[in-house]
Amino acid sequence: MTQAPLTQFPPTRDAAYARLAAVNPAAYACTRNALDGAVTRLSPYLTHGLLSLREVYDAVNARHPLDAKHKFVFELGWRAYWHHVWEHLGDGIHQSLHAGLLSDDAYQREVPTDVLEARTGIPTIDLAVRELYTTGYLHNHARMWLASYVVHLCKVHWHAGAQWMLGHLLDGDVASNHLSWQWVAGTGSSKPYLFNADNVAKYAPAQWHSPGTAIDTSYEALDHIARDAAVQLSPIELRANAASVRANSGVAQPALHNTPPGAEWCAPDGTLVAGRDVLLLHPWSIGDVPPNAQADVLVIGIGLPPCHAQTPWGTLRWRFVTEGLQVQITQPTHLWWGDVAQVAQALQAARSVTWQANPHVDGAMAAVQTFWTSTGHGPLAKPYQQSPLFAPVDKHCHSFSEWWRKTHLINL
């Protein structure tokens, strides 16, 4: 299966700013639920540090003054809220936040092959999977449909589905992705998210419509299926449209990689950094050179295996990160891939080392710091923080509405 080029999401600041300049919050609020609506498609740039929530809000608000309760602001808030939950629960977000419709052992731990290969015979599902693989992106409504189908009709545990989707998304943020799957599953919300063919017909183009398939039924019937551990829609023979499924050749799932598949990355080289001020750009800060960085600072792209051991990526996402870092660094030899000890040893001769704090890398960088100090060095420079948009909330909030009442926009 040929993957699309990165023309849809060029990994550059210029491309991010161009997309940001096109945001129309009024149109977004009115049409965001439709697959062809005025969604922003900013998420890959937010996840990988080419934009921040602060930059997005400030740029849009400057052109279209936003009330704090505008739908666009709420959506920025959801991203901040998911990170609030991650900050308080850490790896706990990989566990169900509370009991769902069924016990955890009622769910499979692998996504069915017909879903992975986009041959369920249900256009809504098969088109979503194909788009995920070819572009690395899905409209949020399509993500919800796909997640709901996998969890409630195929009886797959939400975490298995979340890990699968995370590997293929250019914007795959652990907090946003996994907690959204929990919201759909009903383990992170008060009720499960269900959808049917009528819902798809309301919000999707004609080719996505799925009359006469397993999702062409009432919400009451879907709720019954979701709550009955004995009922699932796999294997194919259980589906009403089995003949059309067998006629669908499907697609191959793109391979996932724990290490960069290209030759652009190399082992850490300490000879580069001797006596230099070093700025490390990691995969979640590929465009985020701080404004106060000195002109002679040495910029190095860095990848650490612990950050990818549990969440391998597809080739498309690795390309996005690699090409995005090369734009900033200009020299491929300044892309380092190495374990904690290798990175710490290579940085020993540096005058100073800075990087952007991010929960995807904080654990691995803390290990680098520990190794650094164990060899007799002082602590590495404290990582810098992005300028926040929402005020931090110290107490863990169990719902978005609770968090929203406690936070507020920070006016700069």
**pLDDT of 377 over the 60 cut:** yes
**pLDDT category of residue 245 using cuts at 50, 70 and 90:** low
Q: Give the pLDDT score at 237.
A: 40
Report how far residue 116's alpha carbon sits from residue 241's, in angstroms, rounded to the nearest whole number: 18
Count of beta carbons in the 10 Å neighbourhood of residue 223: 15
Q: Give the pLDDT score at 333.
A: 82
Q: Write down the pTM of the prediction.
A: 0.93
Q: Are 283 and 302 in contact (CB under 8 A)?
A: no
Question: Tell me: the pLDDT tens digits for 319-338?
Answer: 999 999 998 887 778 999 99
Report how far residue 20's alpha carbon sits from residue 61's, in angstroms, rounded to the nearest whole number: 11
**pLDDT of 216 over the 50 cut:** yes
Alpha carbons within 13 A on the beta-carbon side of 250: 15
Question: Tell me: the pLDDT tens digits for 125-175?
Answer: 999 999 999 999 999 999 999 999 999 999 999 999 999 999 999 999 999
Give me the chain's average pLDDT, please: 91
How would you class 259 by CB atoms within 10 Å of its CB: exposed for 0-12, middle for 13-18, buried for 19 or more?
middle
- Between 349 and 234, the more confident residue is 349
Q: Angle at which helices 53-63 and 13-21 pack, to 10 degrees?
A: 40
Q: Give the pLDDT score at 332.
A: 77
**pLDDT of 53 over the 60 cut:** yes
Report how far residue 186's alpha carbon sits from residue 180's, in angstroms, rounded to the nearest whole number: 10
Helices (DSSP H) in 149-267: which residue ranges?
158-168, 174-185, 197-203, 219-227, 242-247
Q: Are 141 and 35 in contact (CB under 8 A)?
A: yes
Percent of the chain predicted with pLDDT > 90: 80
State which H helix or E strand residue 323 sits in. helix 315-329
Q: Give the pLDDT score at 250.
A: 84
**pLDDT of 400 over the 70 cut:** yes
